[in-house]
Chains A and B, each alone.
Chain A
């Protein structure tokens, strides 16, 4: 009996939930807003699927219904990736410690 590859993906998924659980509890509450914007950015790795979808249409023409949805998804995910990471960076740059002298 072979193990279905789905089970392996499910294992990765469940272990990642546990990693997420412990990692996120260790995030300091003052950085919860950057946490939300950066999770936004990384969940847009869905762009991987969008790129495959967009490039799948070139058998007869570049644009068919399926690839057009892919192209649109690419733009949406790209907004999130650039917007998410940049706005996180902007926020994190503002967190400063007290100056030592004084």
Chain B
């Protein structure tokens, strides 16, 4: 049996390994090593926990069985999941972290002696506060992530669900959570603990339903952050350094990602969270919908334009993920490269449904990561490029964001696609994007609309090259 001090040191080591795991992600070369550090940290933490209990009775068999069941399910999912389903997977995983935090909190509340926290009905005040916070945040993470998962999976409509009095109701529930926690801590009442959990589940659900599909990058990052704070709350209860360090790391990681995503949309965090984007603007978008002329073409025209170009910039978006067009796109680019045409990819921070979504899909299609550029890195190159190939992106290319102060997306950083000599825009129809506004780019002189499914169109272009 390991002494408490020695196990604390091992928990610290695993915390440091987790820091190194994140540090590794600063570049793709070091990232694989980073992941290895993360795995080692986890193995150390789990082993130390077993050794510090040191009570190898029949209970340990049950623990190992449950561990194995979970592990097999997790490994199975990890190998089977298609890369396009990554946002759903991450949302699903967040919900599990949240639920695990809730279960550990329940367990600690029912049997505090096992964690040295006192006896039922007489739990140390500090521990009870920490436990309640961990449980409440865990519950919010769980139900919020479930909604995010359902929206991403398309089981639930991606459009915002709003109703009258939504915000006052949410505010009321949030206040009641604080009040319940306060009374719970002074009375130690078990029924209040269950009420706290129920109310937290409810608010998680209510907070996410008004948020629309394209705001999912913010929501996923935010839930990522919550799952970290929940883990940290439990870490304080269990007085476990590894959990406290990890919780803080994950919490700040998610918060930074949310910030980057909000900045990518030029919206404040509260604006996104309060939801309902696009609901008010839609009417305005419909008013000035006089039919403006657009030029449309076919795969042949597109192939002709690209063959005569010397540089092409590809702008992928969520539509590419939906159409699973990344492999077809890579094949098209290969053909272009054979003709000595320079090709690069431009990724907007909020392209897709989660941070880095497009990068993973391109990597899956064997696109080398040094051909893929972020908005700031590549935006000046559009003016010198011959062709911009927009595939599945829309709002992030809309020049209105720079020109029209009335527009809901005014001020959002956009890719300067219109500065290219010619723009090829693959889209299924002229329908507006998520923000519910028309894209001025459609009507520009140098834009050629390619109305088709992204994957099919890309394949057809390749044939014509």
Task: Report which A residues bind B (CB closer than 8 A).
Answer: 5-6, 9, 12-14, 16-17, 19-21, 23-58, 62-67, 69-99
Contacts and interface: CB of A to CB of B under 8 A. Distances in A.
B9 to A, nearest CB: 13
In this complex, the interface size class of chain B, counting residues with CB under 8 Å from chain A, is 35 or more
B75 to A, nearest CB: 5
A9 B241 CA distance: 7
Interface string B254-266: 1011001000000
Interface stretch (B17-25, B166-174, B391-399, B440-448): B17-25
Contact of A96 (B27, B59, B113, B366): B366
Interface string B150-178: 00000000000000000000000000000
Contacts of B55: 55, 58
B111 A66 contact: yes
Interface stretch (B61-69, B179-187, B277-285, B411-419): B61-69
Nearest to A11: B244
A37 B93 contact: yes
Interface stretch (B295-303, B304-312, B353-361, B449-457): B353-361
A40 B94 CA distance: 7
B100 A50 contact: yes
Nearest to B365: A94
A94 B355 CA distance: 17
A38 B26 CA distance: 13
Nearest to A57: B59
B429 to A, nearest CB: 29
Interface in B100-122: 100-101, 103-104, 106-108, 110-111, 113-115
A85 B110 contact: no
A27 B359 CA distance: 14
Secondary structure type dominating chain B contacts? helix
A81 B71 contact: yes
A52 B246 CA distance: 18
For A43, A78, A80, the residue with the greatest tally of chain B CB atoms inside 10 Å of its CB is A43
Contacts of A21: 252, 256
Contacts of A63: 62
Contacts of B96: 44, 76-77, 79-80
A1 B140 CA distance: 39
Contacts of B234: 46, 49
Contacts of B324: none
A45 to B, nearest CB: 5
B378 to A, nearest CB: 12
Nearest to B64: A74
Interface string B218-230: 0011001001100
B242 A45 contact: yes
Interface of chain A, main secondary structure = helix
Contacts of B246: 42-43, 45
B49 interface: yes
B50 interface: yes
A47 B214 CA distance: 33
B313 interface: no
A65 B236 CA distance: 23
B15 to A, nearest CB: 8
B407 interface: no
Contacts of A26: 23, 26
The listed residue with most A CB atoms (<10 A of its CB), out of B21, B96, B247, is B96
Given A46-B235, A58-B58, A75-B73, 15 more contacts: A12-B241, A12-B244, A16-B15, A26-B23, A32-B359, A35-B22, A39-B228, A39-B249, A40-B93, A46-B234, A48-B11, A51-B63, A76-B96, A79-B70, A84-B93
Given A43-B250, A48-B242, A76-B70, A95 B31 contact: yes
B364 interface: yes
